[in-house]
């Protein structure tokens, strides 16, 4: 998983943590309200998830065959414009990181560009 330095503009983005001897993605919606300020701190959590994943397809195949993919459900309370309160259930693809042996958070040196569309692609990964 690519990660980058967290700035004040990134305080709501997910971060990587070590929990129960596994690398895990932690999203703000998973943080208890009394710890949200800690989560947003660029001093406490110094990196954030760029949502770029590099995965060996053979590892995905193994996890699917073994049925060991364990994805957390994120509960997001939302208030709609019509006044209705709803609960949105989400799964972050980055949360799958805990299912992979030897998963790493890797800082991209020049590749990260904040946005939802790809700016650059690569055929370097084999």
List Cα–Cα distances, 92 to 27, 33, 65, 83, 84, in angstroms: 8, 20, 21, 27, 24
pLDDT in tens, the chain (126 residues): 888 888 888 888 899 999 988 889 999 989 999 999 999 999 999 988 888 888 899 999 999 999 988 888 999 899 999 999 999 999 988 888 888 888 888 876 555 556 555 555 666 555
Q: With a threshold of 0.75, does the pTM exceed it?
A: no
Cβ count within 10 A of residue 106 = 13
In this structure, what token pair is assigned to residue 83?
A: 């006044």
């Amino acid at each position: 998983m690519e990660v980058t330095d967290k700035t004040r503009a990134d305080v709501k983005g997910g971060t990587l943590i070590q929990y129960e001897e596994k690398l895990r993605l932690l999203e703000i919606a998973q943080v208890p309200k009394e710890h949200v300020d800690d989560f947003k701190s660029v001093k406490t959590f110094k990196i954030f998830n760029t949502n770029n994943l590099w995965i060996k397809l053979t590892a995905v195949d193994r996890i699917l065959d073994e049925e060991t993919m364990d994805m957390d459900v994120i509960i997001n309370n939302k208030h709609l414009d019509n006044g209705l309160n709803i609960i949105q259930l989400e799964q972050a693809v980055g949360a799958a990181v805990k299912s992979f042996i030897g998963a790493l958070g890797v800082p991209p040196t020049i590749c990260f560009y904040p946005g939802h569309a790809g700016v650059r692609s690569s055929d370097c990964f084999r």
